[in-house]
Structure 1
Amino acid sequence: MAEFDLKTKNGTEGIEIINLSNGKIPIQRKQTEINFSRRFDNNSDSWIEKSIKLIWNEKCKNNDRLYNQSKFRFEGIRKIDDNQVVINLGLTTYMELIGTNCNPFGKQLVVYGTQSFNSKRSCLADPLGVGSLLLTSDSKFLFLKRAMWTGEDKGKLDRPGGHPEPDNVSTNIRTWTEEECHLPKNRLRIREEIFDSVKCEIRDEINLPLESLKDPLLLGIVRSLERFGRPSAEFLVLCSLTSKEVEKLYLKGCQAEADESVGIVFLPEEKVRGLDLDQSIWHSLTDAACGAIELYNQCYSSSPNQP
């Protein structure tokens, strides 16, 4: 499992990449295990909680569409062998994301976490995001232009994505005992939520039927250094529809999250795989999208649509 920092072409501080495939095929759902424990929650203190709340309230004054919700916290990932990975997860919240990874306050928390808990990441929310490079049947990748009201990356080009939701696993997940956290059936439910959320985000953002999407393939993990290592799991999803069919469905505008984007852009697979994109495109892309493209290039030397 290769880990390295990469200076992206979009002008930000760069990204950290965890490549799970080492140049081989991506990781399938059945090859992924979950280690869920509240020991992996972010550490906090009363003064940290108060600061985060103040940051959140200020953000909500300027954006009444923000709402707080539980998220899975990414603690780390490891490979058992070439065919199996384990993802360590705890719980955090969207409010803590906005108040830590997405705020200069995060820099202070890196120092505090290092001094108090011997880990620079211990006080950061680090919620696990998911994103997908969606490849149409005519070999074009789809990117969304994010709406200006969204909490992150306003106006940027991004791959479809979001967060797996703990409440979809169980509304009582926050009160699970450690024994319940480690039950095989509960770990399986979390894994299914992570992989299913990838397809659901595509459905809700682009208006594609789930049956048109193949099961997501995990390419790796991307951390945005500009957001103190904010993590996202990046996937490849193959679609049975052409780009024109996808565009027609998107333009209907009846999808659940239609207001999160203001348009779509298709980029040829061979140009994405060859990193042969105009500078204007690179500067428009989010860190996560740049990382997903890099991971895709490390996994594929030819289009997966080829027979």
Structure 2
Amino acid sequence: MDPDICLWFTSPGTPKSSVRVVLGVHHNRKVLDSHEKNIELIWARRREKNPRLFNGSKFRLHSSDVQNGTVTLNMGLTCYKDYLGTNWAPDAKTLHHLGKRDFDNSQAYLSDPAGVGAMVQTSDGYVIFIRRSDKVGEAPGLWDVPGGHPEPQELLILLGKDKNLEIHDIPMDEFPHDAVVEEIYDSIIREIRDEVNIPVESLSEPLLLGVAGNNTSAGRPSIEFYVKCSLSSNEVKALYSAGGPEAEESTSMALVHLKDINELDKSAMWKEIAPHARACVRLFQSYRKTLRKKTNNHSLNQVQ
């Protein structure tokens, strides 16, 4: 097993209708008073190196549960500053130890913002990878799947609030939990559109493949999806070359045929794939294996 990743759970292509979110302050990270000043110091140093850093709000994925085909995501709120100051802190292992000691949860003191990623399949059977720019903060220069983060600030529009407000200033019990699910699924479509330049109308509704933790960022979780694209690989190449709103985040695109996906970990490309993207590949492999079993069982039933 890959030491850089851990699979929380695998999901056989779960649609949005079978996903629910439980949002609450008890799912926020626990505050460790002795570490708070370190978070501020880490943020100040990061800002010195990159003044463009923005402390945006994020959803924190606390835990998940799968029962009777329904996936429940237990979520709180966090922010990018806390992410850099905990998951990327030099003493992140100590935070793990203290969380385990104090709450029997090694992630208790970690920010753990939920990321999203997707295996995007073209109409002629290729999946999309993009090479991350050296200018991005995480996994620079590595191959990745399209992805990013769901944005809590987007819920302000649904709540009829001023979008310039801070989401943390609004009581969490005012948030419509169904809207959080919508934002999670909408966010991956936006990321594919902005990073690869594929029109939204060419993309299917995402299917949930599962959740994985990235051990290179202290277990930070990512929600992984499968999305079908109605365009061919050549059409996608042309759109990517034309550039989208987030074109500066990547430098090139690679297309891998479905027949090669199961052997991708044996290729030279594998060691250059970002950890969470490797997890997405693993979840996609599991999903395809499930589909093959269903197809074979259906064929057997027809014969019988």
Asked if these proteins are the same fold (TM beyond 0.5), I'd say: yes
Residue in structure 2 matched with residue 106 of structure 1 by the alignment: 92
Of residues 167, 170, 174, the one that matches 2:168 is: 174
CA distance in 2, matches of 1:20, 1:205: 25
Residue in structure 2 matched with residue 269 of structure 1 by the alignment: 258
Residue identity in the other structure for 1:215: E
Residue in structure 2 matched with residue 88 of structure 1 by the alignment: 74
Rg (Cα) greater in structure: 2
Residue in structure 2 matched with residue 290 of structure 1 by the alignment: 278
Unaligned 5+ segments in structure 2 are: 157-164, 296-304
Q: Could you say if the C-alpha distance between residues 178 and 167 of structure 1 is closer, same or farther in structure 2, counting changes exceeding 3 Å?
A: closer
Residue in structure 2 matched with residue 281 of structure 1 by the alignment: 269
3-state SS of the aligned residue for 2:251? strand
CA distance in 1, matches of 2:190, 2:109: 30
Of residues 41, 52, 60, the one that matches 2:47 is: 60
Residue in structure 2 matched with residue 163 of structure 1 by the alignment: 149
| Paired residues of 1:20 and 1:27 also in contact (CA < 8 A) | no
Residue in structure 1 matched with residue 31 of structure 2 by the alignment: 44
Residues 1:190 and 2:176 aligned together = no
Residue in structure 2 matched with residue 203 of structure 1 by the alignment: 193
| Paired residues of 2:189 and 2:200 also in contact (CA < 8 A) | yes
3-state SS of the aligned residue for 1:34? strand
Of residues 229, 234, 249, the one that matches 1:239 is: 229
Unaligned 5+ segments in structure 1 are: 1-5, 8-12
CA distance in 2, matches of 1:247, 1:132: 17
- 1:152 deviation in Å? 0.5
TM-score (norm 1): 0.88
Residue in structure 2 matched with residue 216 of structure 1 by the alignment: 206
Residue identity in the other structure for 1:32: V
Larger helix proportion, structure 1 or 2? 2
CA distance in 1, matches of 2:206, 2:63: 20
Residues 1:124 and 2:110 aligned together = yes
CA shift digits 1:228-280 (9 cap, x unpaired): 21100000000001111111111112x211111111111111111x2245532
3-state SS of the aligned residue for 1:20? strand
CA shift digits 1:112-153 (9 cap, x unpaired): 222333321110011000000111111111101001111110
| Paired residues of 1:222 and 1:231 also in contact (CA < 8 A) | yes
| Paired residues of 1:39 and 1:90 also in contact (CA < 8 A) | yes
- 1:203 deviation in Å? 0.6
More off after superposition, 57-66 vs 152-161? 57-66
Q: Could you say if the C-alpha distance between residues 79 and 141 of structure 1 is closer, same or farther in structure 2, counting changes exceeding 3 Å?
A: same
Residue in structure 1 matched with residue 138 of structure 2 by the alignment: 152
Q: Could you say if the C-alpha distance between residues 187 and 172 of structure 1 is closer, same or farther in structure 2, counting changes exceeding 3 Å?
A: farther
Residue in structure 1 matched with residue 302 of structure 2 by the alignment: none
Q: Could you say if the C-alpha distance between residues 289 and 193 of structure 1 is closer, same or farther in structure 2, counting changes exceeding 3 Å?
A: same
| Paired residues of 2:207 and 2:227 also in contact (CA < 8 A) | yes
CA distance in 2, matches of 1:241, 1:137: 5
Q: Percent of counterpart pairs with the same letter?
A: 34
- 1:211 deviation in Å? 0.2
CA shift digits 1:206-230 (9 cap, x unpaired): 1111000000000000101222211
| Paired residues of 2:10 and 2:286 also in contact (CA < 8 A) | no
Residue identity in the other structure for 1:298: S
3-state SS of the aligned residue for 1:78? strand
More off after superposition, 68-77 vs 116-125? 116-125
**How large is the RMSD of aligned CA atoms in angstroms?**
1.8
3-state SS of the aligned residue for 1:247? helix
The alignment of Structure 1 onto Structure 2 pairs a total of residues equal to: 284
Q: Could you say if the C-alpha distance between residues 276 and 113 of structure 1 is closer, same or farther in structure 2, counting changes exceeding 3 Å?
A: closer
